[in-house]
Amino acid sequence: MSDKLKGRRILITGAASGQGQKIARLFASEGASLVLLDRNAEGVAAIAVELGVQGYGCDVSARAEVGEIVVMAARVFGLDGIVNAAGILDITPFADLEMASWDRMIAVNLTGPFNIIKAALPFLQRAERATIVNIASTSGVMPMPGTSGYSASKAGLVMLTKCLGMDLGPKIRSNTICPGVIKTEMTRYLWENPAHTARAEDRVALKRLGETEDVARAALFFSTEDSGFTTGAVLPVDGGFSWY
């Protein structure tokens, strides 16, 4: 631990599981005060208690609820960082994709980060410097079969993040991480199957699946002055797959 985030106050969504949870652990170990959000109220409460930080059950697509929770959490100590990791995936060929599933992916993966950032903006603007990190996906920069809804939501998030970099500088920096296949609940269907795993590993230059630690380190980079002259960037953490 090097206290890279000492004195910082950072909100992380999707913190009950996978990448969001790993980011919460790494950021806590680097000295940050955290506000954790997740739709899974029990899960987020457990990690919040373990890390000794604030945690709230919250659906990021519910704008009014997000507004209330962000204001409540930030009122006393403010906020100077956001990591949007909450997300959902439905892999279904376009012809069979339910309209409700399209709506839900846009609502959670794209409008969710919008809701969080909008609610947090007055606090971020009050800070001396602030950072926004959005977790998109390789699917946001390249098409993959059956991912029209997911890819469109993540491509929107990539562009939203770039636009925020432009609109909110110089005090607020905004960057995107595009993970490849990372071993979490979202991809359990894949990594629990040895044949699928072998195929996925073979497709990437580094010949392995990603770990949550890989993404957490990238989120730390974008949340510190190590990336102090970088905004609007899109960083693949995919072992050499999208070549973006």
The catalytic residues are: 150
Which is nearer to ligand NAD, 127 or 213 (by Cβ)?
213
**Lookup result for tokens 């007055």:** 122
Burial class of residue 128 (count of CB atoms within 10 Å of its CB; 0-12, 13-18, 19+) = exposed
DSSP string, 95-156: GG--HHHHHHHIIIIIIHHHHHHHHHHHHHHHSSSEEEEEE--GGGTS--TT-HHHHHHHHH
Which is nearer to ligand NAD, 35 or 108 (by Cβ)?
108
Query: 99: which 2 tokens?
Result: 């309209």
Contact predicate 171/231, CB 8 Å: no
Q: Give residues in contact with ligand NAD (CB under 6 A).
A: 13-14, 16-20, 38-40, 59-61, 85-89, 108, 112, 135, 137, 179, 181-182, 184-187
Q: Give the length of the chain.
A: 244
Give the nearest distance from C-beta 214 to ligand NAD in angstroms: 11
Which is nearer to ligand NAD, 227 or 242 (by Cβ)?
242
Give the nearest distance from C-beta 7 to ligand NAD in angstroms: 26
Which is nearer to ligand NAD, 50 or 225 (by Cβ)?
50
Q: Tell me how far CA of residue 132 lies from CA of 15, 150, 184, 198, in angstroms.
A: 16, 21, 22, 34
Give the nearest distance from C-beta 233 to ligand NAD in angstroms: 16
Which is nearer to ligand NAD, 20 or 165 (by Cβ)?
20
Cis peptide before 170 (omega within 30 of 0): yes
Give the nearest distance from C-beta 59 to ligand NAD in angstroms: 4
Query: 181: which 2 tokens?
Result: 């296949």
**Lookup result for tokens 């949550």:** 212
Give the nearest distance from C-beta 152 to ligand NAD in angstroms: 13
